[in-house]
């Protein structure tokens, strides 16, 4: 854990939980009505780079502010926050003040990557909440118009273990 103390970094993260593996991405306007929410994407997607700004540490937790790393997308610089329903998303206008906690799992390093649980300010671990949503006209009840989305949530769902691929140590 000492290697992480006082260090900020930019990383791409992915779920490594069996049955829920995949990059952590953000939803797009054309995919769902919930644009900007974090979700577990398929292997055809690229994980969104996240910036972890070190705040402090206590016991076995390291506290960070997390935002979308500078990139060419509409959420660049937006902070990661939690909606009233527990969903993780990027917020441009709302003030996000609660820190995120990383709980390291096993061995790892900033250079070689590491596994962790991501926890909100209340200590709840990030989970995947699978939901089916209708595409297009809501009145169209054809089963083929349903698509499954695996949103990240701290209120309910299956807790996931994450792996970070550090792109840059700041």
Q: Cα-flanking dihedrals φ and ψ of residue 33, to 5°? A: -75, -15
**Length of the chain (residues):** 170
User: Coil, strand, or helix at residue 6?
Assistant: coil
Name which of 53-67, 81-95, 114-128, 129-143 the model is least confident about: 129-143
Give the pLDDT confidence of 29-87 residue by residue, as tens digits: 544 445 578 889 887 788 889 999 999 998 889 999 998 887 666 677 788 888 888 88
Q: What is the pLDDT of residue 31?
A: 46
Instruction: Enumerate the domain spans of the chain.
Output: 2-169
Give CATH for domain 2-169: 2.80.10.50
Provide the mean pLDDT of the chain: 82
The mean per-residue pLDDT over the stretch 20-25 comes to 92
Torsion-angle region of residue 148: left (phi > 0), alpha (psi -120 to 50) or beta?
beta
Give residue 119's pLDDT band: very low, low, confident or very high (50, 70, 90): very high
Distance CA 26, CA 113 (A): 21
pTM, full prediction: 0.84
| 45 exposure class (CB count in 10 Å sphere: 0-12, 13-18, 19+) | middle
User: Beta strand pairing status for 113-119 and 162-169?
Assistant: antiparallel
Q: What pLDDT, in 10s, does the model give residues 154-169?
A: 998 999 999 999 999 9
**pLDDT of 92 over the 70 cut:** no
């Amino acid at each position: 854990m000492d290697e992480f103390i006082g260090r900020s970094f930019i990383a791409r993260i992915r779920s490594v939980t069996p049955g829920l593996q995949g990059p952590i991405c953000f939803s797009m306007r054309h995919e769902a009505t919930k644009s900007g929410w974090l979700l577990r994407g398929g292997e055809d997607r690229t994980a969104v780079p996240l910036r972890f700004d070190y705040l402090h540490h206590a016991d076995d937790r390291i506290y960070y502010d997390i935002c979308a790393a500078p990139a060419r997308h509409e959420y660049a610089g937006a902070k990661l926050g939690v909606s009233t329903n527990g969903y993780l998303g990027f917020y441009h206008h709302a003030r996000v003040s609660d820190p995120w906690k990383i709980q390291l799992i096993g061995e790892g390093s900033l250079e070689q990557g590491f596994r962790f649980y991501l926890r909100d300010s209340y200590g709840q671990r990030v989970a995947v909440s699978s939901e089916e949503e209708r595409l297009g006209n809501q009145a169209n009840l054809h089963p083929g118009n349903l698509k499954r989305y695996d949103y990240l949530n701290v209120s309910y769902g299956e807790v996931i273990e994450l792996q970070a691929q550090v792109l840059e140590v700041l």
